[in-house]
Amino acid sequence: MERFRWIGHADLDAFYASVEQRDEPRYRDRPVVVGALPGHRGVVAAANYAARAFGVRSAMPIAEASRLCPHAVYLRPDMARYAEASREVFRILETISPLVEPVSIDEAYLDLSGLEKLFGPPLEIGRTIKRRILEQTGLTVSVGIGPNRLIAKLGSEHRKPDGLTVIHPGEVAAFLAPMPVANLRGLGRQTAKIFARLGVATVGQLRDMPLEDLERQLGRRAAAGFKRQAMGIASAELSVERNRKSLSRETTFEVDTDDPGFLHGVVGRLAGSVARRARSEALAGTVVTLKIRFRGFETHTRQQRLTVATSDERVISKAAWQLFQHGGLPRRPVRLIGVGLSHWQRSQPIQGELFAHAEAAAPDQRLLRTIDQANDRFGSGALQLGMTQTRLDPKRR
C-alpha cells in the first residue's frame, strides 16, 4: 500500500478572546474584542466570532471597531494568561505527536504520519486533538489534516471555528478548485489585482491557466510558486526546533511624548517583558532592536549586535536605550516604542556584558529565576530587576 505523510495544523479559535470568555462567564454570549480600549489609540489584537459578524477584524483601529460594534466587551490583553494557556495546549499536542512545530502562540503543525496504530485514522486523530484540548483547557481548536503543510493549513481554515477537515491526497484537487485565490499564501494586493484583471478568481482557474501566461504577468519565480500551490504541491517537512525568529514587545502611548525619563522607564519595562519570555523559552539573543513610531505612522528601527548572547533585561534595556539616544532618530514626540531580541544562541546561561566573570553570573542567574517565579505566581511585572513600574500614559505618571 502506498504510504504518504499526514500533516496536521491546529489553530486555536479567536485565541485571546476565547481565553477571556472561558475565564469570565459573563462574556460568553457577547462580542469580545481584545486590544486597545475605545477612546484610546491602538488596534484590535483579537476579536471573537460574534464581534467579527459586525465587521471587526484583527489590526483594525479600535476607533473603527467601536463604531462597528459599540456594545462589545472591550478588554486589554493579558499576555501572561494567554501564554500559560498556550503552553497547556502545546503540552497536549506533544502527547499526540513527538513532532510539533510551533508557528505562533495559537497555532502549530504536527507530523501525524504513522500514528494510525495509536489513535486510528486521520479523522479520529483530529477528533482526539480537539477533544483533549477542549476537555483540558476549555478552548476550541480548528484542525486541518492533509498530505502537506499548505493543505493542512487551508484545512484548518476551512470550517472555522471549531472545525475539522481531513483532505486525502486524491481529494486535494477537488478541495482546492473552488477556493478563492486570496486563500493562497503570499498573495498581496498587487498580485490580487493582476489575478482580477486576468479573470482568475478561484484556485481551479489559476491551476488551468498556462504557466507561460502567468510568468508574463508575475515573473518566473512568483508564477511557479502560485502554480505549485494551485496544484497542492508544498513541503511536508516540519522543523521541530523552535523556529521563532524574534521576540518583541511594544506599546502605543495615549499622548505622544518626548519625556526622556518616561521613555527610559518604558524601554526598561518592555525589555523586562522580552527577557522573561526569552528565559521561559530557553532563548538568548545577540541582537537588540528598538522600534520607534512618530505622528503619521512614521516608523524607524535600529539594531545593536551584542558580543555575548543574553536574556537579561538590564543588557537589553541598556542596548535599546543607547539606540534611542545615539541612533540618529528624529527628536520628536514618540507615539509608539518597542523593544525586540533576536538571533538566538541556545543552551546559554543567562549572561551578558554586565557579567565579567562566571562566578558573578551564577548569583544573577538565581536572581533572575527568582524574579521569573514571582512574576509567574503574582502576575507579569509584579517584580522587576532594578526598574520601577512605568505607567503607559505619560499624563498620569
Whether 143 and 160 map to the same domain: the answer is: yes
Nearest Cα to Cα of residue 270 among 380, 372, 350, 365: 380
Instruction: State pLDDT tens for residues 199-248.
Output: 999 999 999 999 999 999 999 999 999 999 999 999 988 876 545 677 88
The fraction of the chain above a pLDDT of 90, given in percent, is: 66
Write out the residue range of the structural domain in which residue 308 sits: 246-396
Contact (Cβ atoms closer than 8 angstroms) between residue 110 and residue 148: no
Are 358 and 274 within one domain? yes
Is residue 186 exposed (0-12), middle (13-18) or buried (19+ Cβ within 10 Å)?
exposed
Dmax over CA atoms of the chain, in Å, equals 70
Please tell me which residue in 20, 24, 64, 107 is annotated as part of the active site.
107
pLDDT digits (tens, 9 = 90+) for 39-92: 998 899 999 999 999 999 998 999 999 999 999 999 999 988 898 899 899 999
What pLDDT is attached to residue 226?
94
* Per-residue pLDDT at 379: 47
Cβ(269)–Cβ(385) under 8 Å? no
Asked whether the beta carbons of 179 and 203 are under 8 A apart, the reply is yes
Spatial distance between the Cα atoms of 272 and 387, rounded to a whole number of angstroms: 9
Given 60, 78, 96, the domain boundary residue is 78
Q: What confidence score (pLDDT) does residue 353 get?
A: 39
Residue 374 or 79, more confident? 79
> 235 lies in a domain?
no
Q: State yes or no: is 107 an active-site residue.
A: yes
Tens of pLDDT along 238-296?
Answer: 876 545 677 888 888 888 999 999 999 999 999 998 998 888 777 899 999 999 988 87
Number of domains in the chain: 4
The whole-angstrom distance between residue 367's C-alpha and the CA centroid of its chain comes to: 29
The number of beta carbons lying within 10 Å of the beta carbon of residue 268 is 25
- Are both 169 and 189 inside the same structural domain? no
- On whether both 69 and 158 belong to a single domain, the answer is no
Tell me how far apart the alpha carbons of residues 374 and 169 are, in angstroms, rounded to a whole number. 50
Name the strand (E) or helix (H) holding 12: strand 7-12
In a domain? residue 156: yes
Last residue of a domain, one of 42, 57, 78: 78
Grouping H, G, I as helix, E, B as strand and the rest as coil, residue 15 is helix
- As a whole number of angstroms, the distance between CA 315 and CA 353 comes to 7
